[in-house]
Amino acid sequence: MKNMPPEALQEVAGYFQVLSEPTRLRILNLLRGKERNVGELAQLCGFTAANVSRHLAMLTKHGFLARESRGTSVYYSIADESVYALCDLVCGNIAGQFERAAKSRRAFQRHK
């Protein structure tokens, strides 16, 4: 982020805003290694196709996904694999925080 102009920082913030929605993260996870259509994703997520379509549109607009029409279906796949490295880094960090907090709670409970 060092020396980035305000406009670029705005783009970075928009990127993270797209990732701030749990449903979109779930969709990205479901597309890891396998393309899927809206119906499949809706069924796997437990949401309506219309709801999933809105999230897919947002992910596609911001370059996370690629879409390909085949007959009457549209299939989605990951356009930018680097999102997984970022998510894995953040998830690893959060998992470490939970683990440290759990150890702290256990240590506190032993001293009661």
CATH number for the domain including 25? 1.10.10.10
Is it the case that residue 1 has pLDDT exceeding 80?
no
**pLDDT value of position 112:** 60
Query: Among positive and negative, which fits the CA dihedral 47, 51, 57, 63?
Result: negative
Among 6-15, 44-53, 101-110, the least confident range: 101-110
Residues 92 and 52 in one domain: no
Banded pLDDT at 106 (limits 50, 70, 90): confident
Domain co-membership, 74 together with 85: no
User: Which pLDDT does position 76 carry in this prediction?
Assistant: 98
Q: Bigger pLDDT: 42 or 102? A: 42
Q: Are residues 27 and 64 in the same domain?
A: yes
- Residues 93 and 43 reside in one and the same domain: no
Range of the domain at 29: 1-80
Lowest mean pLDDT among 21-25, 38-42, 108-112: 108-112
Pair 89, 60 in one domain: no
Contact criterion met (CB below 8 Å) for 55 and 62: no
Residue 88 sits in the same domain as residue 58: no
Name the pTM for this structure.
0.80
C-beta separation of 28 from 64 below 8 A? yes
The Cα 7–Cα 33 span in angstroms is 33
Domain match, 33 and 87 both? no
pLDDT > 70? residue 111: no
How many domains are contained in the chain? Answer: 2
The string of pLDDT tens digits covering residues 33-72 is 899 999 999 999 999 999 999 999 999 999 999 999 999 9
Same domain, 58 and 18: yes
Examine the domain organization and report whether 92 and 57 are in the same domain: no
Q: Do 11 and 54 sit in the same domain of this protein?
A: yes
